[in-house]
C-alpha cells in the first residue's frame, strides 16, 4: 500500500542520489503541485534548490505577498520577482484569448530564463508535473487541450538545456496533497482551488489593463472571502469572477450609472474535464452581490453563471 511517509523517505533518498551537489531551479506558482515538488526537493538538497516565484500581475489580490511569505516561512530558498510591468506590456492591446495565453507564456519563459541564468552552474529544472499531466500530454488531445493551449506542461524552452526532475510524476492529486501534508505545507496551500496559469488575464474578457486587474481582484476577493466565511469554499471545485466587456445602466441615489458587469462562476467537478455550476445558496449570492456593488467602484451589476461543462468551459476565455 502507498503511504505518504514512505513515499517521502524513498523519494528524498532517490533525489539525493540523483542530484548530489547539483543546483536545481524551480518555478513556484502558488499552487499545490509546484509547492509540494519544491518542499520535497528542498527536503533532499536544501539550499541547492533555487525557487523562483514570479508576480505576473495576474494573480489574486495579495496572493503574491501572502504566498511568498509562507514559502519563506517554510524555509524555502525563494526569490520573488516582480514582473508585472513586463506582463502588462506584453498583453497591451491583445484581445484574442489564445494570443493572450501565448504572450503570457512567452513572457514567463523570458523572465524565468533570465532568473535561471542568475544561478551559476544550475543543472536541473524542477517541475511539479503530476501523473494526470503526464497522461494528458501524451494522450489524444481532449477538449481542453485542443480548445485551449495550456502552458503547464512541456513549457521548457530548448535553449535552457536543463535536465528535468519531476518527483511527483507518478502521483495523483490527492496523493500529492497527502505528501504535502507530511512535509508540513499549510492547508491554505494544499486545499486551494485550481487557478489557471494565465491567471486573471483570461477572466478579463478583451484587453487587459492594470485598472481592470485591480477591479477584478477586488471582486474576486469579495467572492472568495465570502465562500470561506460561509464554509462554502471546500464545497466547490473552483470559483472566480469574470470581468465582462459590457457596461449596463444602473441607479445610485438619484444618479443614473453606466458601469461594468461582472460574472461569478463556481463549479463542482472531479477533474475539471466536466463540471456542473455550483448551486450556491441564494442568500450567499445576494450578500456577495451587494458587497461587490457597494464596495467595488465601477461595478454596478453582478450575474451568476449557470452553465455546465460541456458545452460551456469553466473559464470564459
Ligand atoms: P476550461 O476553461 O478549459 O478549464 O474548462 C479547465 C481547467 O483548466 C484551467 N485552465 C487553464 N490552466 N492554463 C492553465 O494553467 C490555461 O491556459 C488554462 N485554461 C483553463 C481552468 O482554470 C480549469 O481549472
Tens of pLDDT, residues 66-93: 999 999 999 999 999 999 999 999 999 9
With cut-offs at 50, 70 and 90, classify the pLDDT of residue 137: confident
Instruction: Confirm or reject: Cβ of 34 under 6 Å from ligand 1.
Output: no
Instruction: Confirm or reject: Cβ of 152 under 6 Å from ligand 1.
Output: yes
Q: Is residue 315 part of a domain?
A: no
Domain identity same for 214 and 261: yes
Instruction: Confirm or reject: Cβ of 315 under 6 Å from ligand 1.
Output: yes
State the distance from the centre of ligand 1 to the C-alpha of 315, rounded, in angstroms.
6
Domain identity same for 48 and 132: yes
* Cα separation values, 89 from 84, 138, 217, 225, Å: 9, 34, 19, 30
Tell whether ipTM is more than 0.95.
yes
**What residue numbers does the annotated binding site for ATP cover?**
29-35
72 phi, psi to nearest 5 deg: -65, -40
Q: For cell 506558482, what's the residue?
A: 29
Contact 152, 197 (CB under 8 A): yes
Domain identity same for 219 and 158: no
Tell me the average pLDDT across 147-164: 57
Contact 192, 240 (CB under 8 A): no
pLDDT for 220 beyond 80: yes
Q: According to the model, what pLDDT value does residue 250 have?
A: 96
For the entire predicted model, the pTM comes to 0.91
Structural domain total, the chain: 2
Domain identity same for 68 and 150: yes
Instruction: Confirm or reject: Cβ of 173 under 6 Å from ligand 1.
Output: no
CA dihedral angle for residue 68, residue 69, residue 71, residue 75, rounded to 10 degrees: 140
Nearest Cα to 257, choosing from 220, 218, 223, 296?
A: 296
Domain that holds residue 120: 4-190
Q: Is residue 200 part of a domain?
A: no
Tell me the average pLDDT across 144-165: 57
Q: Is residue 311 part of a domain?
A: no
List beta partners, residue 299: 260
Domain identity same for 114 and 221: no
pLDDT digits (tens, 9 = 90+) for 225-276: 999 999 999 999 999 999 999 999 999 889 999 999 999 999 999 989 999 9
List beta partners, residue 267: 238, 277
Domain identity same for 143 and 237: no
Amino acid at each position: 500500500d502507498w503511504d505518504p511517509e514512505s513515499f517521502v523517505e524513498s523519494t528524498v533518498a532517490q533525489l539525493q542520489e540523483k542530484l548530489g551537489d547539483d543546483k536545481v531551479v524551480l518555478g513556484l506558482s502558488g499552487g499545490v503541485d509546484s509547492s509540494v515538488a519544491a518542499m520535497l526537493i528542498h527536503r533532499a538538497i536544501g539550499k541547492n534548490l533555487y525557487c523562483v516565484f514570479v508576480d505576473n500581475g495576474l494573480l489574486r489580490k495579495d496572493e503574491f505577498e501572502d504566498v511568498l511569505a509562507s514559502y519563506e516561512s517554510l524555509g524555502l530558498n525563494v526569490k520573488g520577482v516582480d514582473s508585472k510591468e513586463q506582463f502588462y506590456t506584453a498583453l497591451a492591446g491583445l484581445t484574442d484569448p489564445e494570443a493572450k495565453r501565448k504572450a503570457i507564456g512567452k513572457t514567463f519563459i523570458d523572465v524565468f530564463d533570465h532568473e535561471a541564468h542568475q544561478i551559476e552552474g544550475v543543472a536541473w529544472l524542477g517541475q511539479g508535473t503530476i501523473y494526470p499531466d503526464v497522461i494528458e500530454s501524451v494522450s489524444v488531445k481532449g477538449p481542453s487541450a485542443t480548445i485551449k493551449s495550456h502552458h503547464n506542461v512541456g513549457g521548457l524552452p530548448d535553449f535552457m538545456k536543463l535536465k528535468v526532475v519531476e518527483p511527483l510524476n507518478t502521483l495523483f492529486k490527492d496523493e500529492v496533497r497527502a505528501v504535502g501534508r507530511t512535509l508540513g505545507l499549510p492547508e491554505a496551500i494544499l486545499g486551494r482551488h485550481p487557478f489557471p496559469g494565465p491567471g486573471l488575464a483570461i477572466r478579463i474578457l478583451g484587453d487587459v489593463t492594470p485598472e481592470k486587474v485591480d477591479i477584478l481582484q477586488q471582486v474576486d476577493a469579495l467572492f472568495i472571502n465570502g465562500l470561506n466565511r460561509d464554509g462554502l469554499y471546500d464545497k466547490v471545485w473552483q470559483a472566480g469572477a469574470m470581468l465582462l466587456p459590457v457596461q449596463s445602466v444602473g441607479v445610485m441615489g438619484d444618479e443614473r450609472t453606466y458601469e461594468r458587469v461582472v460574472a461569478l462562476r463556481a463549479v463542482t467537478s472531479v477533474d475539471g474535464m466536466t463540471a456542473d455550476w455550483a448551486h450556491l445558496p441564494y442568500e450567499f449570492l445576494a450578500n456577495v452581490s451587494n458587497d461587490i456593488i457597494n464596495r467595488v467602484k465601477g461595478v454596478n451589476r453582478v450575474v451568476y453563471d449557470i452553465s455546465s461543462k460541456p458545452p460551456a468551459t469553466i473559464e470564459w476565455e
